[in-house]
Structure 1
Amino acid sequence: LTLRDDLRDQLKGMYDLQRLTSRVATGRCSPRDLSCLSTTLGQLPRLKACLSERRSARLQTLEQRIDLCAEVRQAISETLVDDPPVSAGDGNVVREGFNAELDEFRELSRGGKQWIAGYQAKESERTGIPSLKIGFNKVFGYYLEVTAAHLDKVPDDYIRKQTLKNQERFITPELKEYEGKVLRAEDRAIALEQEILGRLKEDVARYVARLLATADALAEVDVFTGLAALAAVGGYCRPEVTEDPVLDIREGRHPVLDRLMPSGQFVPNDVRLGVDTEQIEQTGRADGLNGRVQIITGPNMAGKSTYIRQGALLTIMSQMGSFVPASEARIGVADRVFARVGASDELGRGQSTFMVEMTETARILNSATRRSVVILDEIGRGTSTYDGISLAWSITEHLHDETACRTMFATHYHELTDLTQTLKHAANWHVSVQENNDDVIFMHRVVEGAAGRSYGIHVARLAGVPGTVTERATRILEALENQNVNEEGQSTVPKREPKRQQQQLRLFDFPEDPLLDEIRQLNVDEMTPREAMDELYRLHQEIARRDDE
């Protein structure tokens, strides 16, 4: 077996150590929880042995962090039975031989019950009542029950306690004497068991910090083995993580859909995004990459959203140390991954779908940096067509010129494909389709170039929209498309004006106030609230002094 298989076999026999320890720390653990804790600790020596003397520095560190806590396991296994009940009130929690007094109470309890069974047989024979039986209830304890047909055989020493429709119930001094012994023994046994269990909980609680540290190490081992198993089964590759802001993935697959769909059915795609500064410095070219902004067009249901989410997910997976579902991958470190996908509103806040979309977009534009990865899906679709195109156009320009981050923008606005004529590091990609007369076959393959059509009317036809509606829509589409191009067939969207350089110096160039330097030098993260208030008061006094002068 491989190390991965060995570790997974050991982990299968363990319970959630962090959850069990949390219950111990809060005093809410049951006997069953303590037994599960002991079982988990019993697996640790074998797992620790699997990790020992490994070349990986991380595995060596994890092996050292795993604390066997042998004292805890020994205390639990010596005290509790192998399969204790969930509740301590059910009894039979503490192991035989652990406490002599408890064993005595248990023996008396078992012996008393045996005596009652023998007493019933003896009385039945003495009285000649074959149906005589002994019962118990919480009102008056044990009793002798005689049916109405045998009441004439009841001896004089029986004391009547209850009369029912077809039988009567009696007690005897001898029966009550043994009843007292049995019940007291059972109660005292349960009370003593709970006392022993309480002491055990207190003893285990002293090891909470060590148990939690071990739980953290086990969680990390669990993640590593899970990722390793997934990579082996899914044919993942080890990505090259670089400082360059690139996203170069060959034959990449969506990590979730690749597992959900039948084997071989998911269509892999390349992602070639970013500007490889290292390659440009060495060769003067950026072969294989298509700029930092991808504008992805294509019909609905063709896979645009899957494609851009796949790129973001593989970025996260590579940065967390996982292999990725691809044949080859070179992925630059990202400080954050921003996503504006899907459509939702927040009625509780009085925000429409479009308002939510714009709020999230504003957060991206104000927070993204050169090292960020941004995926945008259908920005601007929640408003009018021209407003949506205008916003999408301007947002793309801002991400390209100002933020200069890796961006994947899936859109149905085909006018945006003209941006590659004015944006140096933008590229058009589209999801290919195959047309057969009036039918459309989605190839789910993302290739270079802009899509010629959106195929929205074709999708509507596939969805069952009446033919008269789709035919009318086709004629309207032709009329609308002719309105947005000039005589040469080019888009009528105006080009972006370049930044204006400041040509004239200010008439009065005031020097910067020294107080600004003082404020910049303040380390507010390490100041106490009192120190911050004192500093604010000092600055206020300084400004007031200047005003007086």
Structure 2
Amino acid sequence: MSTPIRNQYLALKRRYPDALLFFRLGDFYETFDEDAHVVARELQIALTSKPMGKNLRVPLAGIPHQTLEQHVATLVSRGYRVAICEQLADPASVKGLVPRDVVRVVTAGTLTSDGSLAPDAPNLLAAYVCHPVPAVAFADVTTGDVQLAEGPHAPLELARLVPAELLVEDASAVPEGVTAPVRVRPPLSEVAVEAELEGVLAQPARQALVPGPAAARALALLAAYLRETYPAALAALQRFRTIEGDSTLLIDGRTLRNLDVFPSGERRSSLFGVLNVTKTPMGARALRERLARPSRDRALLEERLDAVEWAAGRPMERERARAVLGRMPDVARIAGKVGARSAGPRDLHALREGLRAALDLGVALGEQPLPALLDRARAALASAAEPLLAIDAVLAPDPPATFEDGGVIAPGVSPEVDSLRELARDARRFIAALEQRERERTGIRSLKVGYNKVFGYYIEVTAANAHLVPAEYQRRQTLVGAERYVTPELKEWESRLTGAQERLAELERQLFAQLVESLAGSLRQLLDVAAAVAEIDVALALGQAASERGYVRPAFTEQPRLRIVAGRHPVVEAALGPGAFVPNDCELGDDRQILILTGPNMSGKSTYLRQVALIALLAQAGSFVPAAEAELPLFDRIFTRIGAQDDLAAGQSTFMVEMVETAQILHRATPRSLVILDEVGRGTSTFDGMAIARAVVEYLHNRADAAALTLFATHYHELTALADVLPRVANAHVAVREEAGDVVFEHRIVPGPSDRSYGVHVARLAGLPPVVVARAERLLAELQDGRQRLRGEPAVQLSLLALEPSPLEEELATLDLDAMTPLEALQKLYELRARARERRR
């Protein structure tokens, strides 16, 4: 027969069978049964057992309550869901079983612990639907941000924003390239959709903020999941934004990886890493979003560039403001906790410091005229004043982390709080004086007054002095060599102190909860302040990068024309150091739509291609660019086909992946796109590859609806002849200089086709054995002269690869076939084949 607490646990576990259930018992969270085995293994903690009924012991693994966040974050990072069960009443005030319930389920998309989240990246929960059109809803429960997209660009947003967790109604509808954990949810009825939407966004606002019925369904799916897992977060969802496809430069996840826009895998160097000199977490996340979702809104881009230009040209004002930003905590995530009513005393203390810094930031920017973007942000900072006053009026100057320690509420806020504190101080003074008084009264010089959580306050006397103990001392505990006592007077003062502390903690909790509720009413103001700080931080960071790295303001043109003078690759340049990178020009336009780039491997072709794409991306992110001059159109999409890799999970070879990616580009490119193609066709035979590469160039050139500006790097030198027959195709190559039979790659892009590939020279640089390189040079000379075609002199015998004749070869060489009948020869052949097969096993 199980105990009542066991039955309570089992009832809750049946409601959350797919989660690890952390069950609050006093100061611990405990897990039982199979959950205990998993938790003990994953957290490397002890697995014990606990009696929970007659003849019943169950496996147990527990953690102290103060370590919950870090352990939950560890489990979630390993793919587990964690249900947190809390005590809903004070055990001291309840007779019998303490009521308990699950208050939230922590998943990858609903994780909120500060120590486990990257400060420079959002933690997104996403919901995706594909009917009647694709749509996606994103929510960051740590900041209250919600983003909605509906239309053909919605699947791209999943690849760009990389959610931590994805919700779908149909497992077969998951878009290509999604790496997040996917949770299939039951489809919602129309009535359920309406009910969920009403809970997060009232009807008038919904019409303005939700782009369509599919996006509304995605938002409802997301809200229903939060209602199950983290209902408190629903109130924190305050900032709703629509992602418009026609105002955004569309970049898929593959292109972001190809261009190393963000760190990924083992490649840590990235564009984000180079530019991210922001001072605040809000600024870092805003910069990340700009790079992942560049704009096509020219007016917005000019505003952003005006702000960067101001920051770049005013180093003193910039550094003064950045010094203030350096004091700023993560106001957005603290505001998210306020919205979810989960903020603690130290959170509000940090928020207070952040709001104070926001007002100081406005002062640091001064009253001087500012570019429009910075001017609006400076004005928004003034919203910090009201919530700052509210916090200062209630919260102690330096509050403790928990209410048990007391001192959360400022003096003068509540007469009852002040009275209880005075009572507690009186009790502590009496107890502190008691030790000296009792020493003098009893003559026991070693007597001392102490405290522990089990027995409370006590008077400790060594065994040697036990005969001096007064009659009114009551023995409470016996130790080795000592006795612990209490007196009626000590118990009375302890009762006063304990009562005062308990009532004080209860009252401070109530007053603090009222403060949090009041601030939650100002949540939009808090989030507006955080957004303003982020805008200023990004502008100043980009201004600093532009100033230190010699970036220039790009100009935009309505014509499909790209002109870059002395462009540099921002990531490679940062790695090499000042002055080491070789800059290059690039010009594409109506009469020069496609540039075919040839040159040896390792000479810098791929770097040049990525450099042009990154300059275009930076310009449309509202940043200055690494060049002497730059004029660009506003691209609608950037496509890249770079690198070679198998997609083993999809059962696709390197060549198939290459062709699928190329097909997607040809189907989706427009005359407003930028296309980067590197070595198309290299994954198959020479003639197949060359034919495909030429057909791709012709398609991009001849199709008016796909005539994108294109950089096409290739090792097929035959393609350079296309410039003679296709009027908008031009050639360029990477300059190479020969010195004393060796080659030097100059990394300069010069007009015209390359006359040689220098593959053998690259092979020598790669460290191939000299005998192999020498043989390759002779064979290359023969092929170029059109003489031997891989015949001619006998193949060089490489001693390292020479093999001794096998017994089968020796026996075959000694056979006298003329002396055998046809049947004998056939039998001998079968015998040799059988032995050969035996050797292969």
Please, what TM-score do these two structures have when normalized by structure 1?
0.80
Which residue, 334, 339, 362 being the options, matches 2:663?
Answer: 362
Aligned-partner residue type, residue 351 of structure 2: L
Match of 2:397 in 1: 82
Query: For 1:459 and 1:88, how far apart are their aligned partners in 2?
Result: 69
Match of 1:349 in 2: 650
* In the alignment, structure 1 residue 303 sits paired with structure 2 residue 604: yes
CA 1:149 to 1:224, structure 2 compared with 1: closer, same or farther past 3 Å? Answer: same
Equivalent residues of 2:358, 2:529 under 8 A apart: no
Q: Deviations over 1:90-143 (max 9, x none)?
A: 432222232222122222223322222211122222222222222222222111
Match of 2:549 in 1: 234
* In the alignment, structure 1 residue 119 sits paired with structure 2 residue 420: no
Matches within 5 A, 1:340-489: 340-402=641-703, 403-478=706-781
Match of 1:132 in 2: 447
Equivalent residues of 2:669, 2:707 under 8 A apart: no
Query: For 2:714 and 2:376, how far apart are their aligned partners in 1?
Result: 47
Aligned-partner residue type, residue 601 of structure 2: N
Partner-residue secondary structure (3-state), 1:256: helix
CA displacement at 1:321 relative to structure 2: 2.8
Query: For 2:647 and 2:765, how far apart are their aligned partners in 1?
Result: 32
Aligned-partner residue type, residue 43 of structure 1: A
Which residue, 306, 324, 327 being the options, matches 1:13?
Answer: 327
Which one is further off, 392-401 or 207-216?
A: 207-216
CA displacement at 1:56 relative to structure 2: 3.3
Matches within 5 A, 1:159-238: 159-238=474-553
CA displacement at 1:334 relative to structure 2: 1.1
Which one is further off, 128-137 or 433-442?
A: 433-442
Partner-residue secondary structure (3-state), 2:399: coil
Partner-residue secondary structure (3-state), 1:68: helix
* In the alignment, structure 1 residue 34 sits paired with structure 2 residue 348: yes
Query: For 1:165 and 1:65, how far apart are their aligned partners in 2?
Result: 67
Query: For 1:94 and 1:460, how far apart are their aligned partners in 2?
Result: 74
Matches within 5 A, 1:224-263: 224-263=539-578
Aligned-partner residue type, residue 463 of structure 1: A
Aligned-partner residue type, residue 478 of structure 2: T
CA displacement at 1:381 relative to structure 2: 2.2
User: Once superposed, which parts of structure 1, at least 4 consecutive aligned residues long, lie more than 6 Å away?
Assistant: none
CA 1:149 to 1:55, structure 2 compared with 1: closer, same or farther past 3 Å? Answer: closer
Query: For 1:81 and 1:438, how far apart are their aligned partners in 2?
Result: 78
Query: For 2:481 and 2:666, how far apart are their aligned partners in 1?
Result: 87
Query: For 2:777 and 2:425, how far apart are their aligned partners in 1?
Result: 89
CA 1:385 to 1:370, structure 2 compared with 1: closer, same or farther past 3 Å? Answer: same
Equivalent residues of 1:52, 1:63 under 8 A apart: no
Q: Deviations over 1:228-259 (max 9, x none)?
A: 22212222222221011111111111122223
Which one is further off, 108-117 or 302-311?
A: 108-117
Partner-residue secondary structure (3-state), 1:245: coil
Partner-residue secondary structure (3-state), 1:143: strand
Which one is further off, 397-406 or 1-10?
A: 1-10
Equivalent residues of 1:67, 1:210 under 8 A apart: no
Equivalent residues of 1:338, 1:373 under 8 A apart: yes
Which one is further off, 167-176 or 64-73?
A: 64-73
Query: For 1:69 and 1:473, how far apart are their aligned partners in 2?
Result: 72
Q: Deviations over 1:463-502 (max 9, x none)?
A: 3221122223334444555679x9xxxxxxxxxxxxxxxx
Query: For 1:423 and 1:75, how far apart are their aligned partners in 2?
Result: 71
Partner-residue secondary structure (3-state), 2:570: coil
Query: For 1:313 and 1:400, how far apart are their aligned partners in 2?
Result: 23
Query: For 2:607 and 2:405, how far apart are their aligned partners in 1?
Result: 54
Equivalent residues of 1:305, 1:377 under 8 A apart: yes
CA displacement at 1:342 relative to structure 2: 2.5
CA 1:84 to 1:349, structure 2 compared with 1: closer, same or farther past 3 Å? Answer: farther
Q: Deviations over 1:156-204 (max 9, x none)?
A: 2221222222222222111111111112222222222111110010000
Aligned-partner residue type, residue 357 of structure 1: E
Equivalent residues of 2:720, 2:753 under 8 A apart: yes
CA 1:158 to 1:75, structure 2 compared with 1: closer, same or farther past 3 Å? Answer: same
Q: Deviations over 1:34-59 (max 9, x none)?
A: 22222222233444453756263444
Aligned-partner residue type, residue 206 of structure 1: G
Equivalent residues of 1:244, 1:332 under 8 A apart: yes
Partner-residue secondary structure (3-state), 2:383: coil
Query: For 2:432 and 2:683, how far apart are their aligned partners in 1?
Result: 81
Aligned-partner residue type, residue 771 of structure 2: T
Query: For 2:416 and 2:644, how far apart are their aligned partners in 1?
Result: 69
Equivalent residues of 1:44, 1:68 under 8 A apart: no
Match of 1:274 in 2: 589
Query: For 1:45 and 1:457, how far apart are their aligned partners in 2?
Result: 65
CA 1:136 to 1:401, structure 2 compared with 1: closer, same or farther past 3 Å? Answer: same
The higher relative CO (CA closer than 8 Å, separation ≥ 6) is in 1
* In the alignment, structure 1 residue 154 sits paired with structure 2 residue 469: yes
Match of 1:325 in 2: 626
Query: For 1:235 and 1:100, how far apart are their aligned partners in 2?
Result: 62
Match of 2:338 in 1: 24
CA 1:93 to 1:343, structure 2 compared with 1: closer, same or farther past 3 Å? Answer: farther
Query: For 1:271 and 1:394, how far apart are their aligned partners in 2?
Result: 24
* In the alignment, structure 1 residue 106 sits paired with structure 2 residue 409: no
Query: For 1:202 and 1:80, how far apart are their aligned partners in 2?
Result: 14
How many corresponding residue pairs? 471
Query: For 2:317 and 2:657, how far apart are their aligned partners in 1?
Result: 48
CA 1:384 to 1:203, structure 2 compared with 1: closer, same or farther past 3 Å? Answer: same
Aligned-partner residue type, residue 341 of structure 1: I
Equivalent residues of 1:242, 1:330 under 8 A apart: yes
Query: For 1:440 and 1:386, how far apart are their aligned partners in 2?
Result: 28
Unaligned runs of 5+ in 1: 277-290, 487-549
Partner-residue secondary structure (3-state), 1:335: coil
Query: For 1:184 and 1:266, how far apart are their aligned partners in 2?
Result: 72
Q: Deviations over 1:17-40 (max 9, x none)?
A: 322222211122222222222222
Partner-residue secondary structure (3-state), 1:295: strand
Match of 2:407 in 1: 92
Query: For 1:266 and 1:14, how far apart are their aligned partners in 2?
Result: 36
CA displacement at 1:411 relative to structure 2: 2.0
Query: For 2:660 and 2:773, how far apart are their aligned partners in 1?
Result: 35
Aligned-partner residue type, residue 464 of structure 2: A
Equivalent residues of 1:51, 1:60 under 8 A apart: no
Partner-residue secondary structure (3-state), 1:424: coil
Match of 2:388 in 1: 73
If you compute each CA radius of gyration, which structure gives the higher value, 1 or 2? 1
Partner-residue secondary structure (3-state), 2:369: coil
Query: For 1:89 and 1:469, how far apart are their aligned partners in 2?
Result: 78
Query: For 2:680 and 2:709, how far apart are their aligned partners in 1?
Result: 16
Query: For 2:766 and 2:499, how far apart are their aligned partners in 1?
Result: 76
